[in-house]
Structure 1
């Protein structure tokens, strides 16, 4: 038990009122109620009413309500923010002044619409693998972190909230007793995996919930960049958030009030439980192979979420060269078989390599539409320079926006070893024959032309002169 637990209270009831029960059974005669703010705060912007009396505007570090008499048992102090005002109301204590002064720490008074303010008196930790057992006990003013096992029977956490329960091995099981006063709007704060069990417990009440589950910022991991999507039902406000994956293929799920934590479960003071059931909807991802869509994927509460939806998975199952001994100077016929083991079709271009160099193939970038869970063939021609052994290696050309290895398959395939051969001479080369024929024809043409010229000259020489 802390000797100096948190003792101040802060108004925490936007749009409503907060109240404190002030006991007066030990007071008689006339006097005053003195409301004192915590150091560094003031009462401005708020009103207070005693019992059924009229509201009074407060200002400065303290406010006095003068009374001619006090009720026999006590009454309510009701606090409310003035319309159009904004600020923090933090109370240190309430005093009753008659012939003497009776002080009450604000946190000692019963009421609703408040949370604790102040520093915990000590830390209480239950490590992973450790345990805590409490029976008819009271834990006062402790900063509690449970990573192991905590079991309580008719025991209380007072001014120790929220009790933090964090980790896959963490559990809090409480029967009877309960929680009284917290620094936040919930008595217990758990992560997404800790185990909680409550039977017959009393919480701080009012707007303070029994527990909240909060998870840190989440990262969605898509197969690649440019995937558009919409998150629906995010957080207690069940927000709708559009998004698109970055160049790294990721997108962050924002917190409730920024980039950090998000509430995904609330055990409310009335016994009901709200649990987030967010979904990743309207996924549309345009790629060079096609546009892939999905809807209604559940958003789990893990820190890193792998977003999976129907995609193709294409690899090369066979590279078949028709002639195992093709001739240099002529292209070999090749059939490349693509296998799609994915759930959707894809229009897949392929590329081929001849050793370490890009292969001389025609067409340069052949492609085929490959249906889901089926195969398709691509026919091409392969040219090669230099005799000897060679292997043609072909693979799908993956879209550039992919960031997840294996998202579209992509396995390559090799042909059997091909022996390229120089063409053997089988008689005179047709080109040489054509050149000789052309030469002979040319010679004959020249000879014929010369003969005609000589004949014409002889005729002229034989003609008589006049």
Structure 2
């Protein structure tokens, strides 16, 4: 009997649907394996090699997997890894407790293994404090000087007694306790590794990881354990009721997310359990971290770059980063600056947000002042420092221009001035006291004032009266524009319209009498000067004449008054007979003029 085709097809489909997911196993001999379909691991196994879960596939682990050193699991974008009531464990770990912290102490209990024995503490290096330092370790009433050794030991009870160890050190090299050993019964040894020791103020550090877990897709872990993983999340990671030991820090890439709920994180290879890069997001609820000096999580910027509108601007930075650093800097010729590059040495300046070991959240309180100073004023702004890898700061600036020049006339006389109104405006967003200059054919014009100064509020327009002088005839156009200070040269187009404005042409001509006026003026000046000189000379001669005759006359008058008879006699004796005759002769005509007769009558 033949089975109908439709019935056979249905049976095949039902068989596929009822088939369980593939039961695969991890690589065991160092090989590389790819998972391209959904798989479930339910058997305890050891993984030695490299596994990749590809796009569209899901690997579910519901068992304990021992990870050999150097092994790796990679979850591609679009793929998923689910750890459900399972574990990924590395047994080859190297960790230590930082014990030269202030008030560091340990609690040791090896169980009831013997009445007494020796407890030995092993450090990661030999203690060399120098002459001025010390490193003392105390258990009970016994204190041991650890200088010059990489271990100390004490006689101690081993009958389930709690042993307290304290440290008193003046030693700045980080010192880690790797393990504590109980030696008893002629050579028996019980060892407590650093992660198994109860510590206070002695955070646990892991010096390297045991395996790599790179999540570029989705990772969900529930009620499971991770130990010794080098874990990075580049898409999404979710942890609920998870114990993570030696698997920190967890790196969370920019623009991705992590959720940690009801979990325990113990031991980090750095000073933080989780590192959020740039704009990664986190949900951190009811979770206990490594604590102490190890932050629960931090937000670390890849770098801190500023883009501004002020080339060669001055920057004053305050309280930046986890360390609250202060410094000064300058933007470049484009107004940009890499304020903090992505270097390991300046990580403290790139941490903008964090939760400390006590579960308290913090935010940097950094501020940045950007400014530029010129004789137009100081333009600045103070803002909270951007908490992104690339931030923008812009300073409000003026934008000044000359919009109109209105002369009082378009016909003017050479060597005389005309008045005009220069209209200036500030269409920018900052107040300023700006300068303006005027030109004719590119040369400085003779104006009063020669440099125009105007205080302009943002959005303000003003009319400035100006006087203009010209000394040659012809048609001339006055152009006025902002007079930019050198400090603003790099901002020329942002603060001023340097095209300016031009007046209507003004025709300058000489006055009609201009050609004769200089000659007449010179003639009048010369004649006036000559007349003045003649007058002064005449006055001087008259004064000299009066001065020379006045003394003789005075002397005679005195003599006449003293000897009047002698004077008269002397005058008569001194007269020349000839002169006497002349005098007589000269007296006669005065009386004979009227007696003069014609010649024909004589």
More relative contact order in 1 or in 2 (CA 8 Å, sep 6+)? Answer: 1
Matches within 5 A, 1:394-413: 394-398=481-485, 400=487, 409-413=495-499
1:213 aligns with 2:302: no
Q: Give distance in 1, aligned partners of 2:288 and 2:483.
A: 63
For residue 182 of structure 1, report the CA deviation from its aligned partner. 0.5
Q: Give distance in 2, aligned partners of 1:65 and 1:205.
A: 28
Q: What count of residue pairs does the alignment treat as equivalent? A: 427
Name 1:314's counterpart in structure 2. 399
Name 1:114's counterpart in structure 2. 203
Name 2:514's counterpart in structure 1. 431
SS at structure 2 position matched to 1:400:
helix
2:145 corresponds, among 31, 34, 57, to 57
1:125 aligns with 2:209: no
SS at structure 2 position matched to 1:118:
strand
Name 1:464's counterpart in structure 2. none
- Cα 1:193–1:422 shift into 2, 3 Å: same
1:16 aligns with 2:103: yes
- Cα 1:441–1:93 shift into 2, 3 Å: closer
- Cα 1:25–1:10 shift into 2, 3 Å: closer
2:172 corresponds, among 86, 89, 99, to 86
2:155 corresponds, among 64, 67, 74, to 67
Q: Give distance in 1, aligned partners of 2:100 and 2:271.
A: 10
TM-score by length of 2: 0.58
Name 1:450's counterpart in structure 2. none
- Is the Cα contact below 8 Å between 1:328 and 1:385 reproduced in 2? no
Name 2:235's counterpart in structure 1. 148
Q: Give distance in 1, aligned partners of 2:491 and 2:215.
A: 39
For residue 181 of structure 1, report the CA deviation from its aligned partner. 0.5
Name 2:181's counterpart in structure 1. 95
Aligned CA-pair RMSD: 4.4
1:187 corresponds, among 240, 259, 273, to 273
1:276 corresponds, among 364, 367, 372, to 364
SS at structure 1 position matched to 2:180:
strand
Q: Give distance in 1, aligned partners of 2:288 and 2:236.
A: 20
- Is the Cα contact below 8 Å between 1:159 and 1:180 reproduced in 2? yes
Q: Give distance in 2, aligned partners of 1:270 and 1:25.
A: 31
Q: Give distance in 1, aligned partners of 2:484 and 2:456.
A: 14
SS at structure 2 position matched to 1:70:
strand
Name 1:139's counterpart in structure 2. 226
Q: Give distance in 2, aligned partners of 1:325 and 1:192.
A: 66
Q: Which has the higher helix share?
A: 2
CA deviations on 1:370-424 (whole Å, 9 max, x unpaired) are: 13432223344386989779683513524516756766x323454357456575x
For residue 194 of structure 1, report the CA deviation from its aligned partner. 1.9
TM-score by length of 1: 0.73
Gapped regions of structure 2 (runs ≥ 5): 1-66, 70-89, 529-602
Gapped regions of structure 1 (runs ≥ 5): 446-466
- Cα 1:25–1:14 shift into 2, 3 Å: closer
- Cα 1:109–1:385 shift into 2, 3 Å: farther
CA deviations on 1:231-259 (whole Å, 9 max, x unpaired) are: 3x5455657x474757867898789x975
Matches within 5 A, 1:336-355: 336-342=422-428, 345-352=431-438
